[in-house]
Amino acid sequence: MDRISVIVPVYNIEEYLDECVKSLISQTYDDLEIILIDDGSTDSSGSICDYYAQKDTRIKVIHKENGGLSSARNAGFDASTGRYISFVDGDDMLSRFTYEHCAGLIEKYKCDCVQFSYSVTTMDDALNTHETVNVYEGKEILEKYLYESTHTGSYSVCRCLFRENVLKGIRFREGKINEDIDFKYLALSNCRKMCCTNLKLYYYRQRKSSLSTGGLSQKDFDLYDAASELYELTRSEMYGEIAFLGEVKKKRTAFSLLAKIAYYGIADKDIDKQSIVKKLTQEHRKNIIWLIKAPLPISRKILCILFAINYSFSEKLIKLYKVYSGGI
């Protein structure tokens, strides 16, 4: 197994960056190139990057003007020299065994990509879990990706270790969010073999100010672009349910945005809630049959139906659930 380049975008996360970097430099797999991309931070994040670069020669720091997550990842990939590539968000953490274990799976199964599971900010003792490994080849990989992401909603590249050559010629779309969706599809389309482990080797941190758990903003409508990109990539595929699942993603967009409003509200004062909810609900009702047929969890299908029948009532139910479950 050769060097692994770990690409870490950093933007105003001084409160969390220390834990992230410590989880990387304490990896039991030693041959790492850790690239910290300071994307124009206005807090002390850039200085923290420089501090760790002085302590550990495996760390490189890139300071650049703010360009967003995609721009930072692209800059990190351009500077990387490893044979394998990993993406880590700067406020998340890894199990200290992550790369050693992935290296072992790559060696054993001769695969181009390893995908591992995750937990939300819980440092589980992942290697005490009974491991299940599934291996996919060719078009099976794409169908697996689309099926799982439809069921779980997780499209993140951070759950993968890629062989560098499968990423050649692929860029994250800059100036947009939800960029993982089509990037990961393109990367996996270049893979001959992928293995997936159920071990939780990546730890997400959910923050109120994060893109995924904050209130609806104008940037969230980039989901339409990402879903359209995926649809165009999948529409002509004849294997299995690839084309169907690609279209499901497109048909699901209005529901996803309605769910974000219901759970987290609206963060952008320029968005008129009544108007946008009416528009999204009308679109959602047109697509409800697609979503009922899709491999969504039962809980999501119920929510789809409730949104179509009475969105306002559904929103109140969600707020009550959050209160009684300790969500707010």
pLDDT tens readout for residues 159-215: 999 999 999 999 999 999 999 999 999 999 999 999 999 999 999 987 655 555 689
| C-alpha span between 184 and 257 (Å, rounded) | 21
Phi-psi domain of 132 (left: phi exceeds 0; alpha: psi -120 through 50; beta: other): beta
* Cβ-contact 139, 242 below 8 angstroms: yes
| C-alpha span between 86 and 111 (Å, rounded) | 15
Instruction: Tell me the pLDDT tens digit for each residue of 20-66.
Output: 999 999 999 999 999 999 999 999 999 999 999 999 999 999 999 99
| C-alpha span between 161 and 196 (Å, rounded) | 11
Q: Is 297 helix (H, G, I), strand (E, B) or coil?
A: coil
Task: Read off the pLDDT band of 123 (50, 70, 90).
Answer: low
How would you classify the pairing of strands 133-137 and 193-204? antiparallel
Looking up tokens 């996803």 gives 256
* Cβ-contact 266, 273 below 8 angstroms: yes
Count of beta carbons in the 10 Å neighbourhood of residue 134: 12
Q: Is 201 helix (H, G, I), strand (E, B) or coil?
A: strand
Task: Read off the pLDDT band of 216 (50, 70, 90).
Answer: very high
Instruction: Tell me the pLDDT tens digit for each residue of 147-158.
Output: 999 999 889 999
Q: Indicate if the pLDDT at residue 239 is higher than 50.
A: yes
CA distances from residue 284 to 97, 151, 278 in whole angstroms, order as listed: 43, 18, 10
Q: Indicate if the pLDDT at residue 323 is higher than 90.
A: no
The CATH 3.90.550.10 portion of the chain extends over 4-204
Q: Is 241 helix (H, G, I), strand (E, B) or coil?
A: coil
Residue 248, C-beta contacts closer than 8 angstroms, at least 6 positions apart: 150, 290, 291, 294
DSSP H stretches of helix in the chain: 17-25, 45-55, 69-79, 98-109, 139-152, 180-189, 222-234, 242-251, 253-264, 273-293, 298-309, 311-325
Joined together, the tokens standing for residue 250 give 């497109």
Joined together, the tokens standing for residue 200 give 């939780």
How would you classify the pairing of strands 160-163 and 84-87? antiparallel
| C-alpha span between 4 and 163 (Å, rounded) | 9
| C-alpha span between 157 and 126 (Å, rounded) | 19
pLDDT at 169: 95
2.70.50.60, 2.60.120.620, 3.40.605.10, 3.90.550.10: CATH of 4-204? 3.90.550.10
Q: Is 307 helix (H, G, I), strand (E, B) or coil?
A: helix
